[in-house]
Structure 1
Amino acid sequence: MGDLPNRRLEEVLEDTYGLLVRQMTWHDSLYLKRVTAKVETGFGVLKLKRYTGSEQALRQYYRRYLALARTGFTGLPRWYRTVAGKPYVAVQDEWFYLIDWIEGRPFRLSSTDARRLGEALAEMHHVRPDTADFDKPRWREKLRQVTQARRLLRGGIAERLPKDARRFIEQQESLLDETFHHVADSLADHHRLLKSGVVHGDVTLPNILFVDHRARFIDWERLNIGFPLEELAKAAMNTCHFSIPHVEHLLTGYDYDLLDYNQKEIFSTFFEIPREVVYLLLRAARGHRTKHDASMWTFVRDTWDARIALIRHFAVR
């Protein structure tokens, strides 16, 4: 899939959108080939996105996009309908939709970019759309994953891991067990205080661009209602290269200091979760053992000391 010739797609754009395509250039994502095409037209530069899920999921995503757009939130790309008014098209059993191409520069590890990223997250998290087409966030799922990871750890899952990963788990087993225990207790204690809101769902470096000195998010396909403080914690861990000063600047942009003690404790709990370790342990339990897993274990080992220092700096106990 994803290998449709450009000429066929150009014909679709001309016939269904009324666009004259001058050039089409495909781009890969981290895991998939030919996911996004930069389409230069007489109307402007647009993005043709190949949707890898079902039509039902795409339809739901479009409804969520509309709900967020109706709030006046300006961080979304424009979504284009076909001449017939449809929000997407099918081409040989694949789904495609058309939005604005956002041209910008990538995130740089600087105090200014970190602060502006925090501001962009805060702006998004404060938007209140109609939530009829959104999922309800489930705190128990967060608890279940951490609890299961702890159970696997205590059950000797390390024996099923590659040699280097097994050695790392054996060295960090006590700390990981203590972390899983604390996170589970904190989630159980604070779940009634968890505040829900709009989340992008994938705030990682490839999905952040800076346009006119403002952070913009792209690839909104995981848009949903979730826990904003969880997304803040993930974004801080994903983008700031485990740098304490840069995370502080990100939190300054978010107005973190205005949060009450309980909300700061919730952020600290989400920040403490070793997400890659949880993910890899759950995959190992299902028998997965790929090159991607091995590279993730290497990344975890290489960054572990910096992660622990970062977590302890922002701990609220």
Structure 2
Amino acid sequence: MAKSYTKAQIRKITSRFGLIPLKSRLVSSLYRKNAVIQVKTKKGTYALKPFSRTKMVRSNTIQQMEQAASMIRLLKKRKYSYMPAWLPTHSGKLWTLHQGTPFYMSQWIKGRGLENAEDFEKLGWALATLHATSTGLYRIGRGKSPTSQQLKIWKKQDRLFQKKIKKISRHDTKYRNWYNTHGKDCQRLSRRAWKDLQDTSIVKLFQKENRSHALIHSDITIPNVMISDNGQLKIIDWDRVKVGSVYADLAKALMNTTQFNPEFVQSLLKGYQKRKPLSPTERKMVTALYTLPREAWHASLHPNRSRDREILDNWGHSWPLRLQIIHILQEWSMYKRK
């Protein structure tokens, strides 16, 4: 059950950031009820957000909050302008603890969502700026390429999906037709992507990547990108910011925002490469990561949940569109810049 908050609690937490709420309301996200609290004050409108822990990481909620806050400070120091400003508390920290839950406070961005090719070009530029701004800030021991670490997780999810196909095809008549029809499609996409990712040039890229890491947002989705009223693009919801694979971050952004629209895909890539040009090998990497049918892997774990069921139901409709985008990316990966 989603947690609610009283006016007294909101007032107490907000006061630690030096603000007095005049009016507040709970706002739900696409995935979570009461995900953020909109707080109106004399100084402006702000988002008061309980920090959302990433379950894929072993560290606890407090440790993850501290890590995220340190990365936000770093981006602020580097003058990264595509995120809402985070407010400090009276003690100077970027978050506070209330009844065991970390909260942070940032500007409330008023505006609209992504609508046209120009918006997507802005998103590509903003994402590339994040990756370029933070490159080299973190160095991790040998053998820990961010992309290869991400691929270990995705390979595990792929194996679980393969087991699911076999189990459902034998015992679950409700979803048997879907898996019999589209399970093979997913297997073909996976085989193609895993084969491409074994290319010698990509393996060498893993080694190069290990020498200089960067920060990624990890959750570039349609609800998390806003065009503010003054025309500036802002990326919100930085709970999952971390050191990670810039290639996976770009591939996920393409999948999660463009809705298989060729113009939007090409505009996002155009904006990205204006700020951070990619080599043919890097483009091949992004294409292979995009090809992996990750949504089907996730949705198949909980096919009875309405959102996951919707993903599975729409797979047949999106399949030809997906193939079209993969073809566009393959051509892009082979293009030689002059």
Q: TM-score, normalised by structure 1?
A: 0.86
**After the TM superposition, which of the residue ranges 178-187 and 35-44 deviates more from structure 2?**
178-187
User: Percent of aligned pairs with the same residue?
Assistant: 23
Spell out, residue by residue over 1:51-82, the C-alpha distance to the aligned partner (whole angstroms, 9 max, x if none): 24322211111111112222121223222222
Structure-2 residue corresponding to 1:272: 291
1:65-80 alignment, distance < 5 Å: 65-80=72-87
Give the Å deviation of 1:293.
2.7
Instruction: Indicate if the aligned counterparts of 2:49 and 2:104 stay in contact, CA closer than 8 A.
Output: yes
After the TM superposition, which residues 49-88 of structure 1 pair with which residues of structure 2 at under 5 Å, given as runs? 49-53=49-53, 54-88=61-95
One-letter amino acid of the counterpart of residue 63, structure 1? S
Provide the secondary structure at the position in 2 that maps to 1:126. Answer: helix
Looking at structure 1, the residues matched to 9 and 153 of structure 2 have their Cα atoms a distance apart, in angstroms, of 46
Partner residue of 1:312? Answer: 327
Aligned with 2:125: secondary structure?
Answer: helix
Equivalent residue number for residue 149 of structure 1: 158
Judged with a 3 Å threshold, the aligned counterparts in structure 2 of structure 1 residues 246 and 80 are, in CA distance, closer, same or farther, namely closer
Match in the other structure for 1:113: 119
- 1:146–1:278 CA contact under 8 A, matched in 2: no
1:40-59 per-position Cα deviation (integer Å, ceiling 9, x unaligned): 11222211111243222111
Partner of residue 169, structure 1: 179
Counterpart of 1:298 in structure 2 is 313
**1:163 Cα deviation after fit:** 4.8
SS in 2 for 1:255: helix
Number of aligned residue pairs: 310
Q: Which residue of 1 aligns with 2:226?
A: 209
The alignment's C-alpha RMSD in Å is: 2.8
Q: CA deviation at 1:200?
A: 0.8
Task: Return closer, same or farther for 1:61/1:151 CA change in 2, 3 Å cut-off.
Answer: closer
Change (3 A) 1:150 1:98: closer
Determine the C-alpha separation between the residues in 1 that align with 2:284 and 2:12: 54
Match of 1:126 in 2: 132
Q: Could you tell which deviates more after superposition, 293-302 or 146-155?
A: 146-155
Counterpart secondary structure, 1:219 = coil
* Contact 1:143/1:187 (<8 A) preserved: no
Q: Is the 8 A contact 1:17 1:81 kept in 2?
A: yes
Is residue 114 of structure 2 the alignment partner of residue 137 of structure 1? no
Show CA shifts across 1:224-282 (max 9, x none): 1222222222212221221112211221112279432211111110121111112234x
Corresponding letter in the other structure for 1:181: R
Measured after TM superposition, the shift of residue 165 of structure 1 is 4.2
- State the secondary structure of the residue aligned to 1:220: coil
Q: Secondary structure at the match of 2:22?
A: strand
The residue that corresponds to 1:102 in the other structure is 109
* Residues 20 and 41 in structure 1, CA contact (< 8 A), matched pair in contact too: yes
Distance (Å, rounded) in 2 between the aligned partners of 1:277 and 1:38: 34
Separation in 2, partners of 1:29, 1:148: 25
Structure 2 residue 281 is the aligned partner of structure 1 residue 262: yes
Note if 1:188 corresponds to 2:203: no
Tell me the SS of whatever aligns to 1:314: helix
Give the distance between the partners of 1:241 and 1:309, measured in 2 at CA: 12
* Change in 2 beyond 3 A, CA 1:40/1:162: farther
Deviation at 1:115, TM superposition (A): 1.6
Cα separation, partners in 2 of 1:102 and 1:258, compared to 1, 3 Å: same
**Contact residue 169 and residue 180 of structure 2 kept, 8 A:** no
CA contact (8 A) 1:150 1:177 kept: no
Compared CA separation, residues 313 and 165, structure 1 to 2 (3 A): farther
Deviates most, 202-211 or 111-120: 111-120
Q: TM-score with structure 2 length normalisation?
A: 0.81
Shift of 1:136: 6.4
Distance verdict in 2 for CA 1:143–1:85, change over 3 Å: closer
- Judge conservation of contact 1:276–1:296 (CA < 8 Å) in 2: yes
Q: Which amino acid aligns with 1:263?
A: E
Q: Distance in 1 between matches of 2:197 and 2:271?
A: 26
